[in-house]
Chain A
C-alpha cells in the first residue's frame, strides 16, 4: 500500500473536504449562474464526460457479461451473452473454495481495520491532546516513517513472524495494526486538533479520567475520521495480495484470502496454460471480490472522497 501524507502547508485540508462533500456549491469557472448555457463547449463537455464514463464502466460490464457466459464464449467480448449461464454462479462454489476465501478476507479485513482504527485513534489522542517531553520529535518520527517504502522492512518483518511461529496464520496480515499506522495517526491527529479544546478541558474539570475523556468525548466526536481510517484500511486489507502471497501461499488453498485465491485460479484456469479453461469461474470470482468494495463505496462514498481529498492517500 502506498500511502503518504500531505504536509500541512500543502493543502488546506478542512476547507477542501468541506467543499468537496457537503459544502456550499461554489459557482465554478466558465459557468454562469442562473442560466443554463447550451453552447458547443457545453455539448462537448457532456460528450467527453459520457465517453469517459463508458471507458471506465466498460471493464465492469464486460466482467459481468463474461461471468454469465458458457465456457466456450467467455472470450467473445460480447456485452450481451448469447446464452445466459446462470449456473456459473452456483457452480463456482464447488469449483473453487470461494466461500472460504471470502470469509477469510472479510475476517482479516475486519480485524485489520478495527485494530488500526482503534490503535491509531488512541495514539493520535496522545499526540494531539497531551504535552510531554519529546512529543514533537516523536511526531516527526511518525511523519518520517510514512516515507519508508514497505519493501525495506518486508524481509525482516517476515523473520519476526517466522520467529514467532506465526507464518501461515492470519496474524501477519493484521496484528501489526494493533500498534497503529503512521498515516492514520497523522490523519486522526489532524482531525482531533480541529475539535474545540474546551470540551476536553470541561470534562477534566468535571473530574473525568483521561480514559473516560477518550471514550466518552474524543471517540464519539472523531467518529468521521475513525470511519475514514476503518474504510481505507478495510479496502487496503481486502486488496492485499503481497502479504497473502508471502504468508499464506505455502498453506492449503482453502486458507487463501480472496485475492490470493483468484490469482491461484487465474493460473489454474489460464487460457494460455491449458487451452480455454473454465475462465468464467475466474470471472465470477473476480466479480465476487469486487462487489463488496462497490457496496462499501456505495455506503461510504462521502468518507472515501473526503478522505482522499484531505489526506492525499493514493488509492
Chain B
C-alpha cells in the first residue's frame, strides 16, 4: 500500500521514512494532512453514501414492500416479493435464458479474442492497422450495431443468409426462430470482441521470448508451445477476461432490448427475454419497484456466486509470475 506522499512543509525524505516506520506501530497522522485528504476524497464519500450505500439500503427496504410508483402504494409485505421470484415463470425463463447465453457466449468470446490477439502478436510491427480495424466495432454504439444487424440477420433478405446461401446452406430465421435468437446475439457480441482482444494482446507481449527459444531448442512444436508456455503465461489475463465477460453477459440489456423488446408489442420469442430486460420491464414499464428490487438482489447474489466460483477455480490454474 502506498504511503502518504505529502506531509507538512519541511518533511524531508528521512523524516518521511522515519514516520512510516513509526506508523507500523502507533500511527500518528499529521492533522492538517489528514483533513486535506478527507477534503479531497469527500466527493466520493458523499456519492457513496447517497448513490451506493443509501441506494442499496433503500433497495433492500423496497424489496420487502409492494411499492408501485404508478399507484403510490407502499406496504410491508415481508418475503412475498422473494416468493414471487420463484412463482413468476418469466423470472425463471429470463434467468435460464441469461445463463444459457452467458455459457454459450463467454468461452467463444475468450477463444475468438485470444485467436485474434495471437494473429496480431505474430505480425509484430505491422499489426497497427489491423488492430485499428479490429477495434472499430468496439467504438460503435450498440444502437447502430443493432440497427445494422437487425437487417443483416433478417432470415429472408439478410446478408448473412445470402452469404450462407452461396455455399449452399439455408440460413435460419435468426431473429424469429426461438432457438436462433441467442446465437444471433452471440454473433453481434463476437463482432465487438476487440476490447478483450486488446487485453490478450498486451498479455501476449509480456511473455518472455526466451521461453519460446528454449522450447524450440528442446524440440517443442507450436502446439506444445501454446499449451506449455503461452497459456500458462497469459492465464491471469484469461482469468480476468472470463470474470469480466461473465458479469457483462449476465447484465446483457442493450442488444436484447433493441432487437426484441423495443416496441412493447410482446410479439418477440420468450427465448429473447433476458434477466436485465425483464427487470427493466418490471421496474419501468409496470413500475413494480418492490418486485424489481427483489429481482435486482437475486441478480446481485447470483453474480457474486458465479464470480466467487470462478475465483476459486481460477486460483488453481492461474500462474502469477510474481508469486514464484
Contact = CB atoms under 8 A, between A and B. Distances in A.
A169 interface: no
A11 interface: yes
Looking at chain B's contact residues, is the secondary structure mostly helix, strand, loop, or mixed? helix
Given A19-B205, A154-B283, A180-B43, A204 B147 contact: no
B122 A28 contact: yes
- The contact size tier of chain B is 35 or more
A143 B86 CA distance: 32
A101 to B, nearest CB: 11
B29 A131 contact: yes
A59 B152 contact: yes
A155 B37 contact: no
B269 interface: no
A95 interface: no
Given A31-B122, A149-B303, A283-B147, A241 B5 contact: no
Contact of A152 (B122, B151, B194, B300): B300
Contacts of A262: 143-144, 147
A19 B209 contact: no
Nearest to B131: A305
A293 B199 contact: no
Interface stretch (B87-95, B178-186, B256-264): B256-264
Interface of A is mostly: helix
Contacts of B138: 315
Top 10 nearest A-B pairs (CB, nearest first) are: A179-B47, A130-B37, A131-B4, A126-B40, A315-B195, A132-B34, A126-B41, A309-B202, A2-B248, A156-B55
18 contacts: A10-B320, A20-B201, A20-B202, A49-B123, A63-B144, A123-B41, A123-B44, A151-B296, A151-B299, A152-B296, A155-B292, A162-B69, A201-B16, A242-B257, A259-B142, A287-B144, A297-B135, A308-B195
Interface of A: 2, 4, 6, 9-12, 15-17, 19-20, 25-31, 45, 48-49, 52-53, 55-60, 62-63, 66, 74-77, 119, 122-123, 125-133, 135-136, 138, 141-142, 145, 147-160, 162, 176, 178-180, 185, 193, 197-198, 200-201, 204-205, 207, 210, 213-214, 235, 238-239, 241-242, 245-246, 258-259, 262-263, 266-267, 270-271, 273, 279, 282-283, 286-287, 289-290, 293-294, 296-297, 301, 304-305, 308-310, 312-315
